[in-house]
Amino acid sequence: MKIDVEKSLLWTATGAFLLFAVGAALTTIVPPMVSPEMWKSDYPVHEYTEQEQRGIQIYLSEGCVYCHTQQIRHLDSDKRRYGWRLVDAPESESWEYVNDRINFLGTKRTGPDLARVGGKYSSEWHWAHFKDPRNMGEKFPNRKGVYEKVSIMPSFDYLTDEEIKDLTAYIQTLGRNKNWRVDKDGNPLNDYEK
């Protein structure tokens, strides 16, 4: 029997489906089987508290992910830029995200990456920054000048005080799954300005 695909609805449809299905299966179902670090971790990973989870919901509905990624790529430039006090930030790895039910890896850096921002600034700083990133008041005079002119982060002063606290609580957890900020003797400094 000679099959003429171009005359047959069934064969065209089946052919298109089968060819597609190979790649579809191998790039969605197979990866978590071959690379279990995509969904499980051999190291302790932070479990979000209720407050932090509320923060995650705010991060989601305010769409922070459209301006901020959460991944230190495996590149020197990323590690250097998002480091802290001359310590390079370690690269992000799959296992660090296993508790992120809602992932915010992101695709666009209109603002800086936030993967390791937890602990970099005080919660007071975040408060002032969310209220108005262009003028954070007397206490943070270094935010004047160039920030005043070019920061294009929206001000989130329409969020309630509670909401800003929840959001900040979440932000402060970011990047702490790797113990990377240590002093000269190797003691962790991760709780800096919590």
Partner 1 sequence: MKQDTAAKTMIISSCIFFGFALTMGILTALKFVVPTVGDIEYLSMPRLRMLHTNINLFGWLLQANMGILFWILPRILHTKLFSEKLGVAMGVLYNLTIIGGLVCIALGKVKNVEYGEIPPPFDYLVAVCWVMFLINVVGTVAIRKVKYLYVTVWYTLGAVIWTTFVYITGNMLSQMPVMAGSNQANLIWFYVHNAVGLIFTPLGVAIAYYLIPKQLDTPIYSHKLSMIGFWVISFVYVWTGAHHMLHGPSPHWLQTVSIIFSFSLIIPVMAVITNFFGTFATAPRGKRMLGPIPKLLMMGTVYYVFTCLQGPFQAIRSVNEITSKTDWVVGHAHMALFGAFSYYAMAGIYYVAPKLAGRKLYSEKMGDLHFWLMTLASIPFFAVLWIGGVIQGFAWLNPENTFVETLAALKHAHWMRFSTGAVIFGSYFLFFYNIMQTFFGKYSEDAEVEAETVAAE
- Footprint of partner 1 on 15-74 (CB under 8 A): 15-17, 19-20, 22-24, 26-28, 31-32, 34-35, 37-39, 60-67, 69, 71, 73-74
Given partner 1, ligand HEC, none, residue 50, with its beta carbon under 5 to 8 Å by kind, binds none
- Closest distance to partner 1 from the beta carbon of 93 (Å): 5
| Furthest-apart CA atoms within the chain: distance in Å | 84
Q: Which helix (H) or strand (E) holds 57?
A: helix 50-61
Q: Classify 89 in phi/psi space as left (phi over 0), alpha (psi -120 to 50) or beta.
A: beta
Q: Which of residues 110-129 bind ligand HEC (CB under 6 A)?
A: 110-112, 114, 117, 120
Report the residue from 46, 48, 84, 98 that binds partner 1 according to the rule CB under 8 A: 98
Build a one-symbol-per-residue string for 120-159: x at contacts with partner 1 by CB under 8 A, - elsewhere: --------------x-----------xx-xxxxxxxx-x-
Whether 90 contacts 178, CB under 8 Å: yes
Whether 66 contacts 111, CB under 8 Å: no
For partner 1, which is the closer residue by CB, 21 or 194?
A: 21
Q: How buried is residue 155: exposed, middle or buried, by Cβ count under 10 Å (0-12/13-18/19+)?
A: middle
Q: How far is CA 61 from CA 100, 155, 172, in A?
A: 16, 15, 18
- Closest distance to ligand HEC from the beta carbon of 172 (Å): 10
- Closest distance to ligand HEC from the beta carbon of 182 (Å): 20
Q: What dihedral angle (degrees, nearest 10) is formed by the CA atoms of 141, 145, 148, 149?
A: -170
- Closest distance to ligand HEC from the beta carbon of 159 (Å): 8
Q: How many CB atoms lie within 10 A of CB 143?
A: 19
Q: Is 153 in the site for ligand HEC (CB under 6 A)?
A: yes
Q: How many CB atoms lie within 10 A of CB 158?
A: 8
Q: Is 104 in the site for partner 1 (CB under 8 A)?
A: yes
Residue number of the CB atom closest to ligand HEC = 111
- Closest distance to partner 1 from the beta carbon of 1 (Å): 17
